[in-house]
Amino acid sequence: MGQEFLNIMDPEDVKKIIDDIPTNKRVEKILLGDSLNRVIAEDVRATINLPPFRRTSMDGYAVIAEDTFNASEDYPVSLKLIEVIGAGDVPEKKLRSGFCTEVSTGAPLPSGTTGVVMVEFTESNNAEILIYESAAIGQNITKEGSDVKEGELLLPRDTRITPDKIGVLSAIGMKTVTVYQQPRVAIISTGNEIINPNDKLTYGKIYDINSMTISSAVKACGCIPVHTDIVEDDYSALKNKINEFKYVDLILTSGGTSAGTGDVLREVLDDLGEVIVHGVAVKPGKPTIIGRLKNDEGLKYLFGLPGNPVAALMVFRVFFAPFLMKMASISTLTHSNNNVQTLKLSRRYRPARGRLHYVLVKIEGINAIPILKDSGAISSLAEADGFIKIPKNIEILEKGDSVQVFQLVDF
Inside any domain, residue 127: yes
Between 64-78, 81-95, 130-144, 377-391, the lowest mean confidence (pLDDT) is in 377-391
Give yes or no for residue 84 having a pLDDT over 80: yes
What is the band of 338 on the pLDDT scale with cuts at 50, 70, 90?
A: low
In a domain, 6, yes or no: no
Mean pLDDT score, 189-196: 87
* Residue where a domain terminates, one of 327, 361, 377: 327
Q: Do 137 and 85 share a structural domain?
A: yes
Residue 363, pLDDT > 70, answer yes
> How far, in Å, CA of 256 to CA of 238, rounded?
10
The pLDDT of residue 302 is 96
Domain containing residue 175: CATH number? 3.90.105.10
Q: Which among 113, 142, 171 is the end of a domain? A: 142
Q: So what's the pLDDT on residue 323?
A: 96
Q: Find residue 130's DSSP bridge partners.
A: 78, 123
From CA 257, how far away is CA 290, in angstroms rounded? 10
Q: What total number of domains does the chain contain?
A: 4
259 and 289, same domain (yes or no)? yes
C-alpha atoms less than 13 angstroms from C-alpha of 102 in its C-beta half-sphere: 17
CATH number at residue 347: 2.40.340.10
Q: What is the pLDDT of residues 37-81, one digit of tens each?
A: 999 999 999 999 999 999 999 999 999 999 999 999 999 999 999
Residue 2 within a domain? no
Which amino acid belongs to residue 363? I
Nearest CA among 209, 241, 162, 249 for reference residue 377: 209
Host domain of residue 372: 339-405
Residue 233 included in any domain: yes
Count CB neighbours of 123 within 10 A: 12
The band of 197, judged by pLDDT with boundaries at 50, 70 and 90, is: confident
Both 167 and 186 in one domain: the answer is no
Average pLDDT over residues 269-275: 93
Q: Are 137 and 114 in contact (CB under 8 A)?
A: yes
Pair (157, 125) in one structural domain: no
Q: Cα–Cα distance between 174 and 47 in angstroms, integer?
A: 9
204 and 319 belong to one structural domain: yes
Torsion of CA 215, 217, 219, 220, to 10 degrees: 170
Task: Name the residue among 137, 41, 53, 58 with its Cα closest to residue 88.
Answer: 53
150 and 35 part of one domain: yes
**pLDDT for the residue 147:** 93
Q: What is the pLDDT of residue 372?
A: 86
5 in any annotated domain: no
Same structural domain, 209 and 311: yes
Rounded mean pLDDT of 271-295?
93
Tell me, yes or no, whether 34 and 176 share the same domain: yes
Q: Which of 395, 301, 390, 296 is nearest to 350 (CA)?
A: 395
Residue 1 above 60 pLDDT? no
CATH number of 321's domain: 3.40.980.10
Q: How distant, in Å, are the alpha carbons of 102, 249, 301 from that of 23? A: 59, 9, 10
Residues 19, 34 within the same domain: no
In a domain, 410, yes or no: no
What average pLDDT does the structure give for the chain? 91
**77-85 and 115-118 strand pairing:** unpaired
Gap between the Cα atoms of 97 and 113, Å rounded: 10
